[in-house]
Chains A and B, each alone.
Chain A
Amino acid sequence: MRNMADAPLRPPGALPEEQFLATCIRCGKCAQACPFRAIVQADLFDGLRSMGTPVIRPRQAPCYLCLKCPPVCPSGALQRNLKEKEQVRMGTARLDTKRCLAWQGTLCRSCYDDCPIFDIAIRMDDMLQPVVDPKHCVGCGICERVCPAEPAAITVRPSGGHKR
């Protein structure tokens, strides 16, 4: 059985990874529906099993939670009834405090500023350092995109699909 933790970052509403791989017909409609070109189709290097499936690479282009993709999925690999961005469970952001500029003394708040679940999924603690709240983080990856550190100090760990 494939390890869920190895799943790539899927568009919002994706079924659990095994089910997703079986249900997705690799039609590309979700990639075409994405106004931000965030959804791309995986290539051979992502593995034969994932080839052609939609993935999101946040550092290049994160999901902006417009939720235009789930309704277009013909096979239901993306659950079409996903309506609210707070319900999204693409993954969870993880902050590496050793790489994060704010945790290392340089004032930065880019991830906090741009998080779409503003002031809830990422909060600034009393020392003005960002802290992720896994209960509310939807895993869109905007934080990963805007992080000025190179490589990004905050990255999204894919959830392996909505268990819904």
Chain B
Amino acid sequence: MRLTPLRRTVQICLLLLLFVVPLLNQQDISLVNGTLYSFAIGPLWITDPAIGLQTLFTTRALDLTLLLSLLLPVALALACGRVFCGWLCPQNALSELADAVAARLKIRRALHPAPTATLRFVMLGIILLLAAVVGLPLVSLLSAPGIISVQAARLVLEKTVGAELALVGLIVVGELFLVRRAWCNFLCPVGTVLGLFRVRRTMKVVFSEEAGRHCTRCHACAQACQLGLDPVVGGLYPQCHNCGACIEACKIDLTRKPLYFQF
């Protein structure tokens, strides 16, 4: 199956699950429960590593259950990189949709900064320190996927949503008119922490030297990337979501494409 349709399917499934899981919980079917801050499938607990890190700072204590629940997402990040962002995150899906709409309506953004990791690490550092000082989980308040998933559950269970959703609104508006894909690229603490777990064997998009001879420099791959990255130029990480849009956009028809995922 081609990458993009597969990814879209996964994204849509996750969006549906955000509503289906609380609906099932309401019917006392609680095999899966939780939100994108932390959820459980039966006895298996999974917590967002950014949240785990934040709690370390705010409580200055180690909770074993919490730590254990970080293992799976960290393993996934180590193995496949920021696939959560590219394939699962609802904010990412929303931003991609907004970006497609902006393209259709030919909206011009005000600013065009180059994608850089520095700002996001600085942001993360500040947020964590502030959280420790104030004693409040600021990452939680800035986790767009967490907020979306919680508010979806609240809509189902309590028939209401909270003011936290304003962040999502701000993100969408900001990305439509100020900076393209600003949140994912420059600010999101969730993606920042996930991007920390990168080793040599982590799955990455590779532009092969050998196949590069066949590259026509058509820039289709760079244009396909909403984050403004260019796989031919390189320096994709820690920004890249491993969404595969660039790979799919490449028109070179070889037994082995110049762009591909590799561990």
Contacts and interface: CB of A to CB of B under 8 A. Distances in A.
Interface of A: 18-19, 21-29, 31-33, 35, 37, 40-41, 43-44, 49, 51-52, 72, 74-76, 80
B113 to A, nearest CB: 30
14 contacts: A19-B59, A23-B137, A25-B47, A25-B51, A26-B150, A27-B150, A29-B34, A31-B157, A31-B158, A41-B154, A49-B136, A74-B34, A74-B66, A75-B55
A22 B136 contact: yes
A23 B59 contact: yes
Interface in B177-193: none
A74 B45 CA distance: 8
A32 B54 contact: no
Contacts of B160: 43
A18 B134 CA distance: 10
Nearest to A24: B137
B40 A32 contact: no
Q: Range of interface residues on chain B?
A: 35 or more
A18 B135 contact: yes
A65 to B, nearest CB: 18
B33 interface: yes
Interface stretch (B9-17, B22-30, B196-204, B229-237): B22-30
Contacts of A28: 34-35, 37, 150, 153-154
A7 B37 CA distance: 24
Contact of A27 (B22, B38, B58, B65): B38
Contacts of A37: 157-158
Contacts of B96: none
A24 B164 CA distance: 16
A18 to B, nearest CB: 6
B33 A33 contact: yes
B121 interface: no
Contact of A80 (B37, B65, B135, B153): B65
A6 B191 CA distance: 36
Contacts of A51: 141, 162-164
A121 to B, nearest CB: 29
Contacts of A40: 158
A37 B38 CA distance: 19
Contact of B38 (A18, A19, A25, A41): A25
Contacts of B158: 31, 37, 40-41
A23 B39 CA distance: 16
Nearest to B34: A29
B140 interface: yes
A102 B56 CA distance: 50
A64 to B, nearest CB: 15
A74 B68 CA distance: 10
A45 B39 CA distance: 27
A40 B161 CA distance: 11
